[in-house]
Chains A and B, each alone.
Chain A
């Protein structure tokens, strides 16, 4: 069935270091891969997304890479700051013409000053 695995479940880094979160999806028809950040008590917010025809996308300190052959995609955060501390969720879309997303179980990132 449809499944997205996300690792690690928790990640602690020192301010200024890089953080990498990895996801694997099962449905080869998935063509859209968003990442959401959820701060404590708040709604998930889209921070970056990538589509299947692109291998890498960057937005300032965050980047996402996609390997469709291996069904892997990753989030990279460079020069981490304390305000990056949150839970990050990866997701993969279903087939075309649907909004359904299959989410990973989340990664709790803590950035220590």
Chain B
């Protein structure tokens, strides 16, 4: 079966712009989580969605937002981009959303802000 699909794979944006990233989970998976990966900070938790509801949010500014659709696909949006937002954004899906089965990660979207 298809894995977790993230689009686009690469993105270059200018400071002040906004960006939307997309994540399609494994078919049947209802939980989607997003992480920001940077060389110095590792994987930092952004959001968790389960059945279209945001269940958890990490310590990121309000410029970072997300949502989940009825088909479990998820999007995250970053407004007013800053240079420090340059990172690999990973989404992960799981079947039940209670950490009993572990994540499957997508390949990520590499965002570069110039």
* Interchain CB contact under 8 A, A99 and B98: yes
Interface size class of B (residues with CB under 8 A): 20 to 34
* Interchain CB contact under 8 A, A105 and B56: no
* Interchain CB contact under 8 A, A42 and B107: yes
A7 CB, min distance to chain B CBs, angstroms: 13
* Interchain CB contact under 8 A, B42 and A100: no
Which one of A31, A98, A106 contacts B48 once the chains associate, using CB atoms below 8 Å? A98
- By Cβ-Cβ distance, the 10 closest A-B pairs, closest first, are A103-B43, A105-B42, A43-B105, A32-B99, A93-B99, A46-B102, A100-B56, A99-B31, A44-B105, A43-B107
Give the secondary structure class of B's interface.
strand
A109 CB, min distance to chain B CBs, angstroms: 15
* Interchain CB contact under 8 A, A49 and B48: no
B56 CB, min distance to chain A CBs, angstroms: 5
Interface size class of A (residues with CB under 8 A): 20 to 34
Residues A103 and B42 in contact in the complex (CB < 8 Å), given A46-B103, A93-B99:
yes
Residues on the A chain within 8 Å of B94, using CB? 99
Residues on the B chain within 8 Å of A45, using CB? 105
Q: Which residues of A contact B (CB under 8 A)?
A: 31-32, 34, 36, 42-46, 49, 89, 91, 93-94, 96-106
Which one of B41, B44, B97, B106 contacts A43 once the chains associate, using CB atoms below 8 Å? B106
Residues A98 and B42 in contact in the complex (CB < 8 Å), given A44-B90, A44-B105:
no
Residues A100 and B90 in contact in the complex (CB < 8 Å), given A44-B105, A89-B42, A106-B42:
no
Residues on the B chain within 8 Å of A106, using CB? 42
| Extra inter-chain contacts (11) besides given A101-B33, A103-B42, CB under 8 Å | A31-B99, A32-B99, A34-B102, A89-B42, A96-B98, A99-B31, A99-B56, A101-B43, A103-B44, A104-B42, A105-B42
